[in-house]
Amino acid sequence: MIQIFRNIFAIPDLRKRLFFTFGLLAVYRVGCHIPTPGIDTQALLEFMGEAENTFLGFINTFTGGSLKRVAVFALGIMPYITSSIVLQLLTVVWPYLEKLSKEGELGRKKITQYTRYGTVLISIIQSTGIAIWLERAQSPGGAVLVPTAGWAFRLMTILTLTTGCAFIMWLGEQISERGVGNGISLIIFAGIVVGLPQAVIDTLGRTRIGELSIVKIVLLSAFMVLVVAFIVFMERAQRRIPVQYAKRMVGRRVYGGQSTYIPLRVNTGGVIPVIFASSVITVPATIAGMFEEQEWLQTVAHQLAWGQPMYYLLYVIGIVFFSYFYVSIIFNPADLAENMRKYGSFIPGIRSGKRTAEYIDRILTRITFVGALYLAAVSVLPEFLLTGFKVQNLPWIGAALDAYTPRWVTEGMGISFFFGGTSLLIVVGVAMDTLQQIESQLVMRNYEGFLKRGRIRGRRG
């Protein structure tokens, strides 16, 4: 392994790209510590400390801790991701965008430009909401977070946070173009993993004072390793459909006859279904925070809080729904079957055309269900460890179940499972993609890669 890292820095171009990537990620981390003007920092830290184990603390993980400080990068890269997803969905239903998507590089640049405009618009909306929310919020001691509230503070916050988001978007594009890996994904990756050392320190501190036993730490570590291994296995899992090319005679030569396969990933949608489901389920809580005088909104928000049965139910249903919805957008079995027919390929035992499309659609439906359940299981893991499952709020049988259910189920284990849910999916996925790109660079230059079994055939040792 040491020799592999030596090989990485022995290649001038790869070394330059790595240093460029590390440099821009360092710039991103600096921006996460520059506070937005006009906020009482001490009162803000007290307020965020109370919200650490809530959904607000969960979102803070994706911004690298900048949301906790309301830094200039507090919005993170999420507005860009939201804009990209919206444009991708509109490409299916809007003929103009669909036409652009088929125009090659020129159309792609135009869609990218629209994505940037959408990012700025979403950033303005979100920063406006943050500014209004900060003016209304108070620390546990009763101190206001914004001493001088008003439109001057709101405009300054909107300008600061929107500019910060646009700058992060530029950093991500520069990393993708001149660095290693996908820049946007690496920025999210950096924001998540930067909190790992502090999480380890806090866990060890709880062990010293007796809150956590050594046995529980060992079991938690083993559990984390198993979850990561499960994520890697599922992210690489695929269903291979065999494909045969028909033989054809051209002159005196025979072409075709080769065998290949169509790889269908079990988790085709990636983390997008989870992001969609979590965004939708937080809408009632967001609206309830704006209209505190409406009691029925507060009741709905309470029922959709972490650990509540309704939250788990709708969250899982949302993940399954968006898994099928997203796959139906990016994958069309009818188009694939038509392309196979044009190029003279077929699935053994399946008639070309409509029957092939139905066969592929049937397989895709089954593996998408497995992938959706996998995403749901991993996504609800951190919520369960933090808050448990509030069975007492179930209608009719809640009180009886609560009497016989262990406390660690109803109240959680009090463990902040740092790598859990969406963050774990992103970390593992980005790490695998980045290592794969570095592996390709090494193999292309006849160096030993990370995986000996993954060598390209014909490459000299």
User: What confidence tens digit (pLDDT) does each residue in 198-227 have?
Assistant: 777 777 777 788 777 788 778 777 877 888
* Tokens of residue 339, six digits: 């392309």
Q: Which region, left, alpha or beta, applies to residue 13 given φ > 0 means left and ψ of -120 to 50 means alpha?
A: alpha
Buried b (16+ CB within 10 A) or exposed e, 116-132: bebbbebbbebbbebbe
Residue-wise pLDDT tens digits, 121-168:
989 988 888 888 888 877 777 778 888 878 888 899 899 999 999 999
What is the distance, to the nearest Å, from the Cα of residue 24 to the centroid of all Cα atoms in its chain?
21
pLDDT digits (tens, 9 = 90+) for 443-456: 776 666 555 554 43
**Alpha-carbon gap, residue 437 to 21, rounded angstroms:** 13
**pLDDT tens figures, 368-406:** 999 999 998 888 877 777 777 777 777 777 677 777 777
Beta carbons of 71 and 60 less than 8 angstroms apart:
no
**Model pTM?**
0.75
> Mind listing the domains of the chain with CATH numbers?
1-195 (1.10.3370.10)
Q: Which residues pair with 71 in a beta bridge?
A: 35
- Of 66, 78, 59, the residue nearest 382 (C-alpha): 59
pLDDT of residue 337: 87
pLDDT tens-digit series, residues 311-357: 888 888 989 998 898 888 778 888 888 888 887 788 888 888 889 99
8 Å CB contact between 240 and 262: yes
For 139, 276, 297, the CA distances from 293, given in Å and listed in that order, are 20, 28, 9
